[in-house]
Amino acid sequence: MSGRVPEKYQSASEIADLVTTREISAVEILDRYLNQINEHEEDVHAFNLVTINEARAAAKETDRLIVEGEKPGPLAGVPVAIKDNLCTKGIPTTASSKILEGWKPPYDATVVKKLKEAGATIVGKTNLDEFAMGSSTENSAFGPTRNPHDLSCVPGGSSGGSAAAVAAGFAPIAIGSDTGGSIRQPAALCGVVGVKPTYGGVSRYGLLAFASSLDQVGPFATSVKDAAIVHEVIGGYDPLDSTSIKQASNSFVQVIDEGVNKLKVGIISELMGGIDGITHEVIEQTNKAVSALSDAGAQVEEVSLPAALYCLSAYYLIAPAEASSNLSRYDGVRYGLRVDGANLKEMNVNTRTEGFGDEVKRRIMLGTYALSAGYYDAYYGKALKVRRLLAENFADLYKDYDVLLSPTSPCTAFKLGAKVNDPMTMYVNDVCTIPSNLVGHPAISIPFGSGKDGMPIGVQILAPPMKESVMYQAARTLEQASQ
C-alpha cells in the first residue's frame, strides 16, 4: 500500500480520508510523524513520553480494520498528542510533577477513549506546567518546552507541549486542558487553533483536576475545520462526569462555512486596551480581524464587559482555592511519590515538599489562605460575587450579540526565563482568556498575523454556552481572511 507523503502541516481530515481509502496506510502516516519527532523533539521538548510501541500497534489495528472492510472512524490513522494530565491506561500520567512519579492509571480518560474509538493514533503525552499551573510551560518538573517558531521563546501554557507538538508538525491534532486560558493562550503563541468548549460539553472524567469548576478539555489543530471535527469526536454527555451536560451535541462541521453574514459581533473594549499589558501590535492585529469580519458581512460594534477588569483577581482566588482542595489527595499514601518520615504527618509533609514545585506550592498556600476562617468572606466570597457579576454581564451582551471578539494573549511569545521570577507579570498573560473560564462559556483562538518579532498573534472568538456552531463560523471566516 503506497500513497502520498503527508506534508508537515497536512490536515487531520485529509489524513483520515487517505487512510480510509487505502491511498496510504496508518503505519506510514505514523512513521512520517515519528520521523519529525525524532528530528526535532530534542530541541522542542513537547513530549514527556512518546508512545512508539502503543502507537504502532494502534496504527496496525486501524489498517487491519480497513482491509477487512470495517469503518475505523472519522480520525482513522490521525496521530494525536495527549496532554500529560489526562489518564492513559497503563501509560505513565504525571501532570509534569514529581509527586506522580511511577503512577500508571488503570483506565483511560473518556476523551482518550473516544479518540481511540474514532481511529486516532495516540503518539505520546505532552509536557505542561505542573498540574496545569502556569502560562509558559516552564513550571514542569521535566524542564521547559520551547516554541517551535523561536526556540528561545516559551510556547505559552499550561498546555504548551500540546501547542508546540502541533506547531512543530509532531501531530496534526493535540489535546489540552483549559482552566484559565491554557489551550487558547499557547495556541496563540504557537500559531495554531485552540478551542475551549463549553464547560460540561466535553467530559472531564480522567482529567487530573486543578480547579474543578474551571477545567475543560479541548483540541489543538492546524485548522478550524480539524478542531471542529475533533470537538465533535470528544464532545457529548458522559455519565461518568457529574458536570457533563445532558444535551445532544450540535454538528459544527456542517455549518462551518456558512459565514458571518448578518451575525452581530461585539468587540470587548476592556480587552482592547482597557487593561494594562495588552500590547499595541496585538490590538492592531485584532482590529484587522474586526475589519475582516465586517468585510465578510458581520455587523460589528464595540461593547463593554465591565467585570472583565476584576476577572484576573477573582480567578487567582477561585482557582487556587479549588487547587488547595484537589491537590490534598497527593499525600504519599495512595499513589505516586512517597518520601518516608517518622510518622504519617511527617511522611505527608516530606512527600509534598519534595513532590510539588514552587508554583504549585504558591497556589496551594494562596488558596488555603483564601478559604481560611476569617478570610473566606473577604477574599473567596468576593471573588464568587465577581464571577456572578461577570455571568450577568455576558448574559446581557448575548441578548444582542451572537459572538464576542478580543485578543487571545496580551503579547507574543516572550523569552524563556523572562517572567519566571515575577508571578504577577506571568499571571497577566491570562487576562483575556480567564473570563470565559469563570462563566463556563466556549471560546476559540485563531492565528491572525504576527508581531514585529515575527511571532504569531491569536484572536479570540467567544460564544454563549453550547453555541459553538456560530463560534466556528466566525473563526472559519477569520481563518480564511488571514490566509
Tens of pLDDT along 312-339? Answer: 999 999 999 999 999 999 999 988 999 9
302: β partners = 267
Residue from 11, 13, 25, 83 carrying the catalytic annotation: 83
Question: pTM to 2 decimals?
Answer: 0.96
CA distance 120 to 101: 27
The boundaries of the domain holding residue 205 are: 12-255
How many domains does the structure of the chain reveal? 1
CA distance 142 to 123: 18
On whether residue 389 sits in a domain, the answer given is: no
Residue that has been written with the C-alpha cell 461577570 in this structure: 390
Query: Is the bond preceding residue 242 a cis peptide, omega within 30 degrees?
Result: no
Report strand pairing: 264-268 vs 217-221: unpaired
Asked about 140 being catalytic, the answer comes back as: no
Asked about 324 being catalytic, the answer comes back as: no
Tell me if 111 sits within 8 A of 131, measured CB to CB: no
pLDDT score, position 3: 35
Nearest residue to 168 (alpha-carbon basis) of 126, 216, 129: 126
On whether residue 137 sits in a domain, the answer given is: yes
CA distance 215 to 177: 7
Tell me if 364 sits within 8 A of 321, measured CB to CB: no
Q: Looking at this protein, which amino acid is placed at residue 223?
A: S
On whether residue 436 sits in a domain, the answer given is: no
On whether residue 411 sits in a domain, the answer given is: no
Q: Is it the case that residue 481 has pLDDT exceeding 50?
A: yes
pLDDT score, position 4: 38
Residue from 11, 25, 135, 158 carrying the catalytic annotation: 158
Residue from 140, 182, 324, 406 carrying the catalytic annotation: 182
Asked about 89 being catalytic, the answer comes back as: no
Q: In the structure, what pLDDT confidence band is assigned to residue 276 with cuts at 50, 70 and 90?
A: confident
On whether residue 347 sits in a domain, the answer given is: no
Tell me if 364 sits within 8 A of 131, measured CB to CB: no
Q: In the structure, what pLDDT confidence band is assigned to residue 168 with cuts at 50, 70 and 90?
A: very high
How close are the terminal C-alpha atoms of the chain, in Å?
34
Question: Stretch 192-220: mean pLDDT, rounded?
Answer: 98
On whether residue 244 sits in a domain, the answer given is: yes
Q: Is it the case that residue 10 has pLDDT exceeding 70?
A: yes
On whether residue 400 sits in a domain, the answer given is: no
Tell me if 168 sits within 8 A of 155, measured CB to CB: no
The CATH number linked to 55 is: 3.90.1300.10
On whether residue 410 sits in a domain, the answer given is: no
CA distance 309 to 313: 9
Tell me if 482 sits within 8 A of 193, measured CB to CB: no
Name the DSSP letter for residue 250. Answer: P
